[in-house]
A and B are shown apart, each in its own frame.
Chain A
Amino acid sequence: MAAPTINEGAAVHHKPFFLWRHLNKLRWLTLIIVFAMLVLLPFLHIYQTYTAAHAYDLLSPGEKQLYDVMESIAAPFVSDPAEDLDAVKGNTWSGSFWGFKISDPLAALGQVAASLSLYWPFLLTALVPVLATIIFGRFFCGWICPATFIYELNSNFASWLRWAGIRVGNRRFDKRIKYGVLALGLILSAVSGSVLAGVVYPPAIIGREIYYTIAQGGLGAGTIFFLGTLLFDILVARRGFCRYLCPGGALYALLGRYRLVRIRRIAETCNDCAKCNVVCEFDLDPLRDGFGQECNNCTACIAICPTDALTFTIRPSDYPEQGPGHLGQLYRKQQATEDTDAAS
C-alpha cells in the first residue's frame, strides 16, 4: 500500500506514512533473527550429524539434551532431518536456501581479485544483494549484518558508560579511509591469490566464529580481531569500524550511491532539534539533508524525530539543503528579518 504522503508533490500535509517510524523496531527484529539463525544453524548441523549416525543411544547426557531441543525445533518442519535440514546452510557471507545460493558482493569482488578471472556461476550469487543495494543503498549494514547487531549494542553500552561518567572515545576520521581498506583488501587478495578481503570483514568473521565455537569446538583468530574492533568503537570512535574501516561497508556505500529509496527531511515540520544527528550511528547530517552514500536506511532518525519530519522518498539523489526547519527559531528569525526588509 503506497502512502500518499511520500509523494513529494503532495505538499498539502507533510505527515509521513505512520508505519515508517516503527521500521526501526522491525530492523531490530531482523537483526535478531539473522543473529539467532547464525547461532541456531550450527546446532542444527550437530543434530543432523547425530541423526545421520543413528547415534542417540551413544550420546552423552548433554548431547542428548541438545538432540532433544533441536528435534523439538526442527520436527514441525522436516521429516528426515539428516537430509532436509541441508536446505538452509551458511551465513551472511555466503549461504544457500533450498539450493538458491546468495553471497556477499565483497565475497564476489574478493574472489575476482584473488583469481583475476570472472567465474560467473559464483558471481551471479551476488546479483540479488547487488540489485537490492542499488535500490536500498547500504541497507545490509543496518538491517542484516550480524556484526551491526553487536556493534549497536556496543554503542548503547558505550552510552551507558558515558552516563556513568566513564569517558568513551568520540573521535572523527575521514570516512573515505574505508575505501582505502577495501582497495587494500582487494590488492592483498590479488597478491596472495587467496580471498583475504573477508579476513577483516566483521560479518564474515562473526558467521565463521559462531560456527567454529559451536560446532568445531573453539574460537578462531577472527574473534580477537572482532573484540579489537569493539574496543576501538568504545575507546576511539563510536561505530568507528563501520564508519571508517569496514571494506564491505565501503563496497555497499559505493553500490548504493545512487540508491532510489532514501530518507529525506521535511523542512516544513522540522524544528531543528538535531535528535536525528545525535542518534545517527554513521555520523550523518539528517538535520541539514546530508545523508549521502553512507546512509544505511536504518530509520533510527525517523523513529526518534519528535515532529515526524523525516520520511522516505524515491529519488536517485539527496534533497539539496533545505535550510532551517520551519518550526525552529532560526527559521522564524529569518522570516522576521525578511518581513522587516520587505516592510522597509
Chain B
Amino acid sequence: MERRTFLQALVASAVAAAAPSTAALAASRSSLRYLRPPGALQEQEFLEHCIHCGQCGEICPNRCINYFGMENGLGSIDTPYIIPREQGCILCMKCGEVCPTDAITEIERDFEAILSGVDMGHARVDESLCLSFQGKTCGVCYRACPLPDVAIYVGRLEQPHVTDECVGCGLCERSCIQLPQAIRVFPTRA
C-alpha cells in the first residue's frame, strides 16, 4: 500500500510540476516566418489535430515540408512547416489527401477549390528591393506563380502586383532573383 501511495504522489506531483511549464513551452513561438501546408487548420486547431506522423512530408513531391524540432515550442514539435524561400509549395494537394486527422484538410486539386480553400499566407512586394520597380524588367515572380493574372498581375516593366486571391504558396518568394528577396509570403496564421 505504501508503494502505491508513493506512486500516486509521484505522478500527482509530476503532473503538477509539468503542467504549467508545458503549457508555457507549448505556447512559446519563435519569430520564424513559416507557413503551414496548404489547407492546414488555424494554428491552435491544427496543433490539436496533428499527430506528428510525418506523412505530409513523406508524400510531398517538392520536398518543401520540413518538421520542427524544439525551436518553435514543445507544442510544435514534429509538426510540418514550409519556409517559402527554401522551397515553395506547388499546390499538388497530396498532403491533405494523406493527412489522417484532417489537420490538413483535403482540398481537390482544382482551380476554384484551391482559390477558396487554401490560405497559407499572402505575398507582399518590397518595391525598394524589386528589380522591376528599379527599372530593370524582371517578372520572375509572375512567371513562377501557379495562379498568374489571378493572384498576381504585372504592370509596366513587369512590376508585380499581388491581389487578394493570393494563396501564399511561396513559389514567387522561392523564385525571386533578388538577394534578399523582394517578394515575401507572410503567413495568415491566427
Contact = CB atoms under 8 A, between A and B. Distances in A.
A45 to B, nearest CB: 5
**Taking each of A96, A121, A199, which has the highest tally of chain B beta carbons within 10 Å of its own beta carbon?**
A96
A35 interface: no
B102 A119 contact: yes
B14 A184 contact: yes
B11 A91 contact: no
B133 to A, nearest CB: 32
A204 interface: yes
Contacts of A125: 100
A192 B74 contact: yes
A177 to B, nearest CB: 7
Interface in B15-74: 15, 18-19, 22-23, 25-26, 44-45, 47-55, 57-63, 66-67, 69-70, 74
B121 interface: no
Contacts of B55: 89-90, 94-96
Contacts of B94: 86
Contacts of B75: 192-194, 196
Interface in B121-169: none
Pairs A-B, 3 closest by C-beta atoms: A192-B26, A194-B75, A115-B48
Interface of A: 41-42, 45, 48-49, 52-53, 82, 86, 89-91, 93-96, 101, 103, 107, 110-111, 114-115, 119, 121-122, 125, 174, 176-177, 180, 183-184, 187-188, 191-196, 198-199, 204, 207-208, 211-212, 215-216, 220-222
21 contacts: A53-B61, A86-B59, A89-B59, A90-B54, A91-B53, A93-B53, A95-B55, A121-B102, A180-B7, A184-B15, A193-B44, A193-B75, A194-B26, A194-B50, A195-B52, A196-B26, A208-B78, A215-B58, A216-B67, A221-B70, A222-B78
